[in-house]
Structures are given as C-alpha cells and as structure tokens.
Amino acid sequence: MRGRASAVGPLESKLLPVQPNRTGRDGVFEGYASLFRIPDLGKDVVEPGAFRESLQRRGPAGVKLLWQHDPAEPIGCWLSLTEDARGLFVRGRLSLAVARAREIHALMLDGALDGLSIGFRPEKARTEPRTGLRRLERVDLWEVSIVTFPMLPQARIAAVKAAHPAAFA
C-alpha cells in the first residue's frame, strides 16, 4: 500500500506469496516475507541487511501482523523475524480467538490464501537510472500482512508447522 503518509515519509508495502500446503491447527505458520536481490513487480529490490537495524530496534513484538495492511485488523503476532542469506524469514501465530484470524486460517488450510506483504518506510535507497530498479538498502519495517495479491511471485513459504516445540527443532 504505497503512499500512506507518516511523519517521516510514506509507508510502503511489498507483497509475497505464501504457499501453505498444510497449516498448523493452532494457527502457526512461517515463510519468507521478503527475498533479497529479486526485483518485485513494483521494480523494488531489497538488499541483504536492509531489515537488520529495524529488527534490532523493534523486535518481533514491534512489528504488527495485519490483514491486508489494515491497522484496524490485527490478526496475530510474530514469533520471530530473522534475516538469513535468502531474505526475511518470519514465523507467526494467528490469534484464533479473533474471528477474522479464524477465517484467514481456514482459507490458509484450504490453500486459498497465499500472500505475505511487508509494510515499511524506506530509510536508504537508490534508483538505478539504466534499469529503473530501486534498491532498498535500509528500511524501517512496521508490519507484515497476510494478503491476497503478492508483489514478489518467486517467494514461497518455507514450511508450515505446528507450534509444538519439537516441530521447530
């Protein structure tokens, strides 16, 4: 959702697909919310390390889990957000006491809902004149949403697991 104004600049969103083959019955899911060095449909490329400072500053509790970037629709919480060599790996839990989260969970179980999207403010970026690609070198990550339409079709969920501690070992 580009263009939403904030005190320091526009809030931007990037979309990624989630491919849940199976979803934990307790609402836990995981996947990549962003992949590094891959141009999205909006001609943005997230560079490795772009989330590092924001994640250190905010931690998982400071990044909201929303439905379609709507701040009136929180649907759960992030258990972890980590940069690795591939991108921003996230693990979250839908709050199944919330009606919308139960609906989303059912759609994920059916394979009908498969998108992730990042909401951020660019802090350091450069545009390549020749290609028109904007390279995001540092972003302030505000939220990651479950969405219908992703911007980066190449990214897929890594795994969907139950929240039992042994399942993540």
Greatest mean pLDDT among 6-15, 17-26, 89-98 lies in 89-98
Cα 19 to Cα 31: distance, rounded to the nearest angstrom: 9
pTM: 0.80
Catalytic site includes residue 105: no
Q: Which of 13, 34, 54, 117 is catalytic?
A: 117
Strands 134-147 and 44-46: parallel
CA–CA distance, 80 with 97 (Å, rounded to integer): 21
Considering the candidates 69, 83, 105, 145, report the single residue annotated as catalytic: 69
Q: Which helix (H) or strand (E) holds 71?
A: strand 70-83
Predicted confidence (pLDDT) per residue in 119-152, tens digit: 999 999 999 999 999 999 999 999 999 988 877 7
Catalytic-residue membership of 69: yes
**Average of per-residue pLDDT values in the chain:** 82
143 a catalytic residue: yes
Residues 92 and 79: beta-carbon distance below 8 Å: yes
Helix/strand/coil for 141: strand
Given 34, 83, 143, 145, the catalytic residue: 143
Q: 52: which residues sit within 8 A by CB, 6+ positions away? A: 83
**How far is 168 from 112, CA to CA, in rounded Å?**
25
First and final C-alpha spacing in the chain: 35
